[in-house]
Structure 1
Amino acid sequence: MLREDGYNMEGDSRRKKIIDILTTRDRAITGNDLSEMLNVSRQIIVQDIALLRAVNKSILSTNKGYILYSDESKRFKRSYYVTHTDEQIAEELEIIVDNNGKVLDVVIEHDIYGQITVDLIIASRRDIKEFLQKLKDSKTKPLKNLTDGRHYHTVEADTENDLDIIEKELNEKGYLVN
Structure 2
Amino acid sequence: MEGVERREKLISILKNRKDEPISGSELSKQLGVSRQVIVQDIALLRAVNKNILSTTKGYLLYYQEENKVNRCFMVKHTNDQIQDELCSIVDHGGKVLDVIVMHDIYGEIRTDLIMSSRKDVYDFVKKVKEKQTVPLKDLTDGTHLHTVEADSEATLDEIEAVLREKGYLV
Which of 47, 54, 61 is the matching residue for 2:47? 54
Q: Which residue of 1 aligns with 2:116?
A: 123
Q: Which residue of 2 aligns with 1:19?
A: 11
Q: Unaligned stretches of 5+ in structure 1?
A: 1-8
* 3-state DSSP of counterpart to 1:151: strand
* 3-state DSSP of counterpart to 2:109: strand
The offset of 1:72, in angstroms, is 5.0
Which of 167, 171, 174 is the matching residue for 2:167? 174
Take 2:151 and 2:119, find their aligned partners in 1: how far apart are those partners?
Answer: 20
TM-score, scaled relative to structure 1: 0.91
**Pairwise mapping of residues 5-154 of structure 1 onto structure 2 (< 5 A)?**
10-25=2-17, 26-71=19-64, 73-154=66-147
Which of 139, 158, 169 is the matching residue for 1:165? 158
Q: Give CA deviations for 1:29-66 in whole Å, capped at 9, x if unaligned.
A: 11000001111111111111111111110111112111
Take 2:3 and 2:134, find their aligned partners in 1: how far apart are those partners?
Answer: 38
* 3-state DSSP of counterpart to 2:59: strand
The offset of 1:128, in angstroms, is 0.6
The offset of 1:10, in angstroms, is 1.8
Opposite residue 84 of structure 2, the aligned amino acid is E
Opposite residue 149 of structure 1, the aligned amino acid is G
The offset of 1:24, in angstroms, is 1.4
Bigger Rg, structure 1 or 2: 1
Take 1:27 and 1:132, find their aligned partners in 2: how far apart are those partners?
Answer: 19
The offset of 1:15, in angstroms, is 0.8
Take 2:4 and 2:65, find their aligned partners in 1: how far apart are those partners?
Answer: 24
Take 1:73 and 1:126, find their aligned partners in 2: how far apart are those partners?
Answer: 25
Q: Which residue of 2 aligns with 1:4?
A: none
* CA RMSD after TM alignment: 1.1
**How many residues align structurally?**
169
Q: Unaligned stretches of 5+ in structure 2?
A: none
Identity percentage of aligned residues: 60
Could you list the structure 1 runs, at least 4 aligned residues long, displaced by more than 3 angstroms after superposition.
Answer: none
TM-score, scaled relative to structure 2: 0.95
Q: Which residue of 2 aligns with 1:3?
A: none
Opposite residue 100 of structure 1, the aligned amino acid is G
